[in-house]
């Protein structure tokens, strides 16, 4: 994918983020949300990450938001404050063009600068592309939870992967 630029999150990104995430809620097992949250919920979620200073990376092509990635605290308890979980979502027409690599590389760099020491990826086991992407960046498999979530009338396994930052 050519002419990709990366930038920080802006409040005007919420509608495009909402549309991208809605696609995954309705058509994919990449998220276990069964219904797409609206822009108010997502604005609040991203607002909390902004307030905490957590990395949020926006990818644009020709002035359009085509993907986003963020790293935020893995769990709310204070002992987890140096461990983050990453999330990457791409506009469906950009999948397979290398955008995930660009976003993950930048997200890792920003997470290191922030001070996170470990990054966790929580991935549906059938998401081979996401698993392969994380493996390319040095994530290793640390666990598999069987039949952890029910979506689209199927029980889904979840893979946990981890990388030191």
pLDDT tens-place string over residues 2-16: 799 999 999 999 999
What proportion of the chain, given as a percentage, has pLDDT over 90? 99
For the chain, which domains are there? 4-164 (3.40.630.30)
Identify the sign of the CA torsion 91, 92, 93, 98. positive
Region 130-146 average pLDDT: 98
Per-residue pLDDT of 38-51, as tens digits, reads 999 999 999 999 99
This prediction has a pTM of: 0.96
Q: Which tokens in the block code for residue 16?
A: 């495009």
Please name the helix (run of DSSP H) or strand (run of DSSP E) that holds residue 88, with its range, or none.
Answer: strand 83-90
For 9, 42, 78, 137, the CA distances from 12, given in Å and listed in that order, are 8, 12, 31, 30
Measured CA to CA, the distance from residue 83 to residue 112 in angstroms comes to 11
Mean pLDDT of 111-118: 98
Starting at the edge strand found earlier in the chain, the sheet holding 83-90 runs 4-8, 56-61, 64-73, 83-90, 118-124, 154-164, 140-151
pLDDT mean over 12-36:
97
* 114 in Cβ contact with 55 (< 8 Å): yes
Give the pLDDT confidence score for residue 102 in this predicted structure.
98
């Amino acid at each position: 994918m050519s002419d990709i630029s990366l930038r920080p999150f802006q409040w005007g990104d919420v509608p495009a983020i909402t549309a991208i995430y809605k696609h995954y809620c309705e058509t994919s097992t990449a998220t276990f949300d069964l219904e797409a949250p609206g822009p108010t919920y997502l604005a609040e979620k991203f607002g909390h990450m902004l307030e905490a200073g957590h990395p949020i990376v926006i990818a644009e092509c020709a002035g359009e938001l085509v993907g986003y990635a963020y790293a935020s605290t893995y769990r709310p308890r204070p002992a987890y404050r140096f461990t983050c979980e990453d999330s990457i979502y791409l506009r469906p027409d950009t999948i397979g063009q290398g955008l995930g690599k660009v976003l993950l590389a930048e997200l890792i760099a920003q997470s290191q600068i922030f001070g996170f020491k470990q990054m966790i990826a929580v991935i549906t086991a059938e998401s081979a592309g996401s698993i392969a992407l994380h493996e390319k960046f040095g994530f290793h498999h640390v666990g598999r939870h069987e039949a952890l979530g029910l979506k689209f009338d199927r029980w889904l396994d979840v893979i946990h992967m981890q990388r030191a930052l």
